[in-house]
Amino acid sequence: MKSLESKIRDHSAHVGVIGLGYVGLPLATEFAEEGFKVTGFDISMDKCKLINSGMSDIGDVSSERVKAQIKIKNLSATDDFSKLKQVDCVAICVPTPLSKTKDPDVTYILNAVDQVKKYLHKNMLVVLESTTYPGTTEELIRPLLESTGLKIGRDFFLAFSPERIDPGNERYGTKNTPRIVGGTTPRCRKIAKSFYEQVINHAHIVSSTQAAEMVKLLENTFRSVNIALVNEVALMCDRLKIDVWEIIDAASTKPFGFMPFYPGPGLGGHCIPIDPHYLAWKLKSLNYYSRFIELAGDINSQMPEYVIDRVTRALNSSGKALKGSKVVVLGVAYKRDISDLRESPALDVYRLLESHGAKVVYNDPYVPLVHFDKRDKKSVKLTASLLKTADIVVILTDHTNFNYQWIVDNSKLVFDTRNACQRVRNGKKKIIRL
């Protein structure tokens, strides 16, 4: 009988991926394209039907890629978790949201591990990819799987390898973004490294699953803190009557010791607004208060309110009140050129505008429909007439397919939170920048 390591190396191992979203589907597709038989697992029957029909709902994975692998039967999707007993290697790629009190919600992880536990067998590799607090793999998952009587490092193998997906990034994807791999034992680490090396260009080994968990949190805490710093600089520059974008551009000319970050209407995406809170929560259990993380979170979470203040001031300067004004919002995705709405600050700004009595519509070429606050909002067609009748246009997501010159030419007033209009001509009187 072949060892698991041999099956991984000759691509005869059956790969399972639990969770077929922004992380799971790209990973499953990469393994399928390398010749592995891959079964994707998801609790959504509709999601499974979509994939099995050869369609993708993830921007970073084209339907053509999925269809090709479905056709040759390298890829399939199911909501029947009993098929895990046929799998040799399984990657868990499920969401890890925060509760309303900003505590880690590991429900999705535990539900996935419960399914794996039911069908755990000898010579099986289990890897958690979902971002979580240091200690999750060792303290929560290991005991659950060991309760089956199978011995870790001998009968089955457990590792943590954090996802590093950046939706919409055309330069770095699943394959060419280095992987961090930490195992619960040296053999677990070795097998997990071999597993990822089949589809990823480089795997970087760390000493433990706790170290691997901490790496991901450091990466996103770094971004959160630096974005908070530049957001606060934007608040300072507003009071000093200085252009923050000019300051950042000038500082960026220094070839060492400076890395540019940019202000905006708030933080979005699944990682940066959430991951630092996982670390802060864990440290509180160790009687340590993470001041940088908490302060950064406070500053970033207040940016939507600051946008409302600036919009109100902009309207006041033209003799109008926010209440009753017609506002056109451009972009509701959390960043440019994607459809991802997770934690999007644009939705917070939208709600605040409405709560202050503004009449709000939005256009986003990537998001035709938004469901929030128990209602649906549809993207309106962007026309010259729409812009001309708006009291103010608010740019919240700087999609590259917006024609900013045309937008400014047809608008009375534009509030630009992303510096998207930096190259627009003759717009000084119309454009107000964050």
Q: Which domains does the chain have, with CATH numbers?
A: 4-207 (3.40.50.720), 209-301 (3.40.50.720), 302-434 (3.40.50.720)
Contact 125, 4 (CB under 8 A): yes
Residues 6+ apart with CB under 8 A from 314: 392, 413, 415, 432
Q: Any catalytic annotation for residue 93?
A: no
d(CA 390, CA 413): 8
d(CA 267, CA 273): 6
Residues 6+ apart with CB under 8 A from 99: 105
pLDDT per residue as tens digits for the range 347-406? 999 999 999 999 999 999 999 999 988 889 999 999 999 999 999 999 999 999 999 999
Contact 124, 58 (CB under 8 A): no
pLDDT per residue as tens digits for the range 308-335? 999 999 999 999 999 999 999 999 999 9
Task: Give the 3-state secondary structure of residue 27.
Answer: helix
| Residue 342 CB neighbour total at 10 angstroms | 17
pLDDT of residue 269: 79
- Give the active site residue among 89, 93, 237, 271: 271
Phi and psi of 291, rounded to 5°?
-65, -45
Instruction: Produce one character per residue of 346-374: b if its CB has 16 or more CB atoms within 10 Å, e if not.
Output: bbbbbebbeebebebbbbbebbeebeeee
The HSE-up count of residue 320 (CA atoms within 13 Å, CB side) is 18
Residues 6+ apart with CB under 8 A from 139: none
Q: Is the pTM of this model over 0.75?
A: yes
d(CA 224, CA 100): 20
Residues 6+ apart with CB under 8 A from 428: none
Low-confidence ranges of the chain (pLDDT < 70): 428
Instruction: Give alpha helix (H) positions in 53-171.
Output: 63-71, 107-119, 136, 142-146
Task: Please count the helices (runs of H) and the strands (runs of E) in the chain.
Answer: 16, 15
Nearest Cα to 362, choosing from 342, 381, 375, 343? 381
In the DSSP assignment, the letter for residue 381 is P
